[in-house]
Amino acid sequence: MGNNRLLQRLDSALFGSVIALHRANRIVQNKIDGCEESQFEDDERLGHSIENLHATLNLSIQRIERIENKAMNTLLGVAVAITVFGATSGLLGANGILADSSLLFRIIATGLLTIAILYLFGSGLLALQTYEIGQIYRPTLTERAPVVEEKREKTATLYAIEQNQRVGTLRSNRLSASFACLRNGLIVVVLLVIVVGVGSSAAGFPPK
């Protein structure tokens, strides 16, 4: 029990609960894989009007689309951050701002830079994977044709609603992990700035 709690805390602090969210997603994915339309044939929501069910279906689709938009914004932000890092990493080179600092400062700065880039890459990868999880479910045209009885259309709509909610959970969990990695990356960047500031000051840089 104690070891599990320690691992959970380390996962939360270092990896943004990526491991826990991955396990949760496996459970949700199993529910998606095992779900069938026939499970909704006696659902109490069949008493709702088809219009209300369609409205709920549209809301479930909009939720997934909002998550996709957030993932895209995160991906763009990470891309910009990595580009800036690539352009400024030379400042930590042999002729950079820490050139006259002690070896310890240079090692720490290099380590922090590496960790920050890994976090940012991880955040971008998780945001990108948000698009790859699941799919958007909709009743097929044949299931919404005029000749199809209303109960079958409602059953297909309920199936799509339930699956979309689960897909939304999958993508939301992956996006939460992406945000956590981005947060940790930014924290490391702040630490890097502090180390660079202290190291350059200790070395008398910039010269007075």
Which of the 8 DSSP states describes residue 146? Answer: T
pLDDT 10s digits, 32-74:
999 999 999 888 999 999 999 999 999 999 999 999 999 988 8
Q: Is the omega angle on the peptide bond into residue 206 within 30 degrees of 0, that is, cis? A: yes
Residue-level pLDDT, tens digit, the chain, 208 residues: 555 666 666 656 666 577 788 888 899 999 999 999 999 988 899 999 999 999 999 999 999 999 999 998 888 888 888 777 766 666 665 556 666 667 777 788 888 888 888 888 888 888 888 877 878 998 875 656 554 688 888 999 999 999 999 999 999 998 988 888 888 888 888 888 888 777 767 655 454 4
Which of the 8 DSSP states describes residue 147? Answer: T
Helix H or strand E segment including 197 = helix 150-202
The pLDDT value recorded for residue 134 is 76
Asked if 171 and 64 touch (Cβ cutoff 8 Å), the reply is: yes
Q: Residue 186: which of 71, 70, 68, 80 has the closest Cα?
A: 80
Q: What is the pTM of this model?
A: 0.77
Measured from the Cβ of residue 99, the count of other Cβ atoms closer than 10 Å reads 14
Domain ranges of the chain: 38-202
Which of the 8 DSSP states describes residue 206? Answer: S
Distance CA 85, CA 167 (A): 34
Distance CA 41, CA 33 (A): 18
The pLDDT value recorded for residue 12 is 62
Instruction: Please report how many Cα atoms fall inside a 13 Å half-sphere around the Cα of residue 43, on the Cβ side.
Output: 20
Query: How is the chain split among helix, strand and coil, in percent rounded to 5?
Result: 80, 0, 20
The pLDDT value recorded for residue 205 is 47
